Amino acid sequence: MAFTIRNLKIRDQILLVTLPPLFVLLCAVALFFYAYWSAINTEHAALRSKERVVRGESFLRHATEASMAIRGYVFTRREDLVTAYDRAIKESQADLLTLSDLDAASPGESEEVARIRVEFDQMQSQWAQPTMDKLRSDTEFNKDKALSDGQTRLADIRTKVLKLRSEDEGENLGEMEGAEKVIKRMLVVGITLAAVLAGILIFLTGVVTRLIVAPVLQLIHASEQVGRGDFSPDLPPVADNEFGVLSRSFSQMTTALQREREEIASLNRFSEAVTQCTSEVEVYDLLLHSLKERFQPRQAIIFKLNAAENYLEVAATLVPLPKEEGAWPVIEEPHNCKAVRTGRSFVVNDVQLEPLCPSKFILPTEGSYYCGPLIAGGIIIGSMRVEAAPNLLTPERQRLLEGYLSVAASALSNLRLLDRMKQQANIDMLTGLYNRRFLEDYARKLFAIARRREQPVGVIMLDLDHFKSFNDIYGHEIGDRVLRHFAKAVTTCMRETNLAARYGGEEFVVVLPDTSAKASSLVAERIRKAVMTMVVPSNTEKPLPQLTVSIGVVAFPEHGQTLEEILQASDKALYDSKRGGRNRVTVAATPD
């Protein structure tokens, strides 16, 4: 029974509990109405019996009055006694009519009343009326016999009436006793039925209460478990009622919460790991690895936007690109990428049924793919395409994927901002060359490498001749212009592996890795000649005078073992050029 009741719906379980008391109530109402009907019938029967007794006594009284009126008339011959007789006869007949109506429902009593009526009529027709007729006609007759005959007839009628009254009283008593027995029987049956139904009700209430309360308590405990982070709660057993549906829904919700929590934890781990990346390549590799672990895509391609040359370049891929695309893996027009053009994700659930991206860059021939923009600070810095099986990229997976792309885009933007800040911290804003701090850090690292490899490092120190007086005459604006042109002339005379820096004011330093002092002097000489031929616009009709530069050349480790010694030696060689007449290159003498 418990299993059957457990599979009932809650409404049916409640009905199972409420129907017994409703049935008891209906039975009680039925018993009440039956008792009320029995009481009414008993009361009516008693009233009818009482009425019959009264009418019987009234009939006997009126019949006796009629007989007495005839007897009086026999002795006195008074006409008023005849009138009394007639009145008594009418009232007797009325009593008999009433008795007939009252006994109509009882055939036996009705027949008895009919016999009484016949005898009463015979008493009138065969005794009373003949007697009065004989007295009026003065006919001789035996008075004693007539009176005796009337007495006998009245006695017979009285006997029958008394018998009928006795039967009515017995019937009335029997009906009362029967009604009392019925009421007692109904009371016993009602109490027994109520007790049985009460027991059934208590049993069913207990069973249904347990079946309702137990799942509710289990669900409450399960919700507390989920709130504490336990996603394997004890749920109510599977049933075909609302608790079964609620249990399945709760299980699905718990599974979804667990999956969402795992996804959030995975995204947090990715976010924490990506903040530790020091290069864009490292971010790309981490993003591809995380997407492979989480989504198992067939292919993932990261595009990097080159805003200067206006194209999207493949920065990293999960699966290597075909050879024919490897030489120039770009989308020549960024706006052909729908994600870049709209700034929103673009999803194709089935490449064989839906229109594809207009970029036409190695589009998949089956399955589905997702293309989303990489946006940082409201600026699109690239996009990413993820290819998977058909209809695998559900809206939930798309939101998670967008979370990964958002974190990666922020990390890439931060790295680029950091690189920009580093460049700004290491670059002289006026000339675009490196500043003194970067020069010293770079030179120390370069000297350490050169010492291990036993390679020379050339150092050239330059100083514009008479720049202070030139600056005073033509102004700082022209002076700044001269410094910018001078920096450009220096960088055009050296290789890309060399480094030029503004050391301070009008002094500059050029570092040449793996270059001897002699070779460095050749570079210095090219710079000196380039400065002499340098043309700086003056914004006036009068051109600026020719500029010259004094140069000192040294080499590591020939002229010193430390940066300070090298700079001191180059500064000394520079001043030798100054003292020697300026506009010349001086190679520092070796300590030997």
pLDDT digits (tens, 9 = 90+) for 7-46: 556 666 566 666 666 776 677 677 667 767 776 777 676 6
Q: Which residues contact 211 (CB under 8 A, 6 or more apart)?
A: 2, 5, 6, 13
Of 420, 438, 459, the residue at which a domain comes to its end is 420
pLDDT, tens digit (0-9, with 9 covering 90-100), for 423-478:
777 888 889 899 999 999 999 999 999 999 999 999 999 999 988 888 888 888 88
Q: Which residues contact 31 (CB under 8 A, 6 or more apart)?
A: 186, 189, 190
Q: How far is CA 355 from CA 301, 358, 366, 369, in A?
A: 20, 9, 13, 12
Note whether residue 266 is domain-resident.
no
Q: Which pTM was predicted?
A: 0.54
Q: How many CB atoms lie within 10 A of CB 6?
A: 22
Note whether residue 187 is domain-resident.
yes
List, in sequence order, the alpha helices (H) in 77-142: 79-102, 107-122, 129-136
Q: Give the span between the Cα atoms of 10 and 127, in whole angstroms.
A: 87
Q: Give the span between the Cα atoms of 243 and 173, in whole angstroms.
A: 62
Q: What single-letter amino acid sits at 289? A: H
Closest C-alpha to 317, from 352, 291, 344, 341: 291
Of 420, 451, 480, the residue at which a domain comes to its end is 420
Q: Give the span between the Cα atoms of 211 and 206, in whole angstroms.
A: 9
Note whether residue 116 is domain-resident.
yes
Q: Both 440 and 387 in a single domain?
A: no
* 170 vs 405, residue with greater confidence: 405
Least confident of 215-219, 353-357, 507-511, 547-551: 215-219
Q: Give the span between the Cα atoms of 190 and 196, in whole angstroms.
A: 10
Q: Give the span between the Cα atoms of 411 and 272, in whole angstroms.
A: 10
List, in sequence order, the alpha helices (H) in 427-458: 436-453
CATH of the domain at 302: 3.30.450.40
Q: Give the span between the Cα atoms of 579 and 551, in whole angstroms.
A: 11
Q: Both 316 and 384 in a single domain?
A: yes
With cut-offs at 50, 70 and 90, classify the pLDDT of residue 565.
Answer: very high
Q: Give the span between the Cα atoms of 233 and 254, in whole angstroms.
A: 9
Q: How many CA atoms lie within 13 A of 398 on its CB side?
A: 17
Q: Which of 180, 506, 525, 565 is catalytic?
A: 506
Note whether residue 221 is domain-resident.
no
- What does 128-176 look like in DSSP terms, one character per residue? IHHHHHHHHTT----HHHHHHHHHHHHHHHHHHHHHHHHHHHHHHHHHH
Note whether residue 495 is domain-resident.
yes
Whether the pLDDT of residue 186 is over 50: the answer is yes
Q: Both 296 and 397 in a single domain?
A: yes
Q: Which residues contact 79 (CB under 8 A, 6 or more apart)?
A: none
Question: Residue 587: its pLDDT value, please?
Answer: 93
Q: Both 334 and 466 in a single domain?
A: no
User: Which three-class secondary structure state does DSSP give residue 429?
Assistant: coil
* 267 vs 198, residue with greater confidence: 267
Q: Both 38 and 183 in a single domain?
A: yes
Q: Both 362 and 505 in a single domain?
A: no
Note whether residue 241 is domain-resident.
no
Tokens of 584: 């010349």
Q: Both 89 and 128 in a single domain?
A: yes
Q: Both 411 and 492 in a single domain?
A: no
Range of the domain at 323: 275-420
Tell me phi and psi for residue 538, to 5 degrees: -105, -10
Q: How many domains does the chain have?
A: 3
DSSP β-ladder status, 549-556 and 311-317: unpaired
Long-range contacts formed by 128-134: CB under 8 A, 24+ apart: 128/66, 128/67, 128/70, 128/85, 131/70, 131/74, 132/70, 132/73, 132/82
Residue 195, exposed/middle/buried by CB under 10 A (0-12, 13-18, 19+)?
A: exposed
Q: Both 116 and 155 in a single domain?
A: yes
Residue 247, exposed/middle/buried by CB under 10 A (0-12, 13-18, 19+)?
A: buried
pLDDT, tens digit (0-9, with 9 covering 90-100), for 94-126:
877 877 777 666 666 677 777 777 887 887 787
Question: Residue 6: its pLDDT value, please?
Answer: 56
User: Which three-class secondary structure state does DSSP give residue 388?
Assistant: strand
Q: Give the span between the Cα atoms of 443 and 440, in whole angstroms.
A: 5
Q: Over the chain, what is the mean pLDDT?
A: 81
Q: Both 510 and 481 in a single domain?
A: yes
With cut-offs at 50, 70 and 90, classify the pLDDT of residue 508.
Answer: very high
Of 204, 221, 245, the residue at which a domain comes to its end is 204
Note whether residue 250 is domain-resident.
no
Tokens 């405990």 sit on residue: 221
> Residues, the chain, total?
592
Question: Residue 252: its pLDDT value, please?
Answer: 73
Q: Both 359 and 439 in a single domain?
A: no
List, in sequence order, the alpha helices (H) in 296-364: 323-326, 338-342
Q: Both 200 and 97 in a single domain?
A: yes
CATH of the domain at 578: 3.30.70.270
Residue 324 designated active-site: no
Question: Residue 326: its pLDDT value, please?
Answer: 65
Question: Residue 105: its pLDDT value, please?
Answer: 63
Note whether residue 270 is domain-resident.
no
Least confident of 23-27, 487-491, 523-527: 23-27
Q: Which residues contact 336 (CB under 8 A, 6 or more apart)?
A: 357, 358, 359, 360
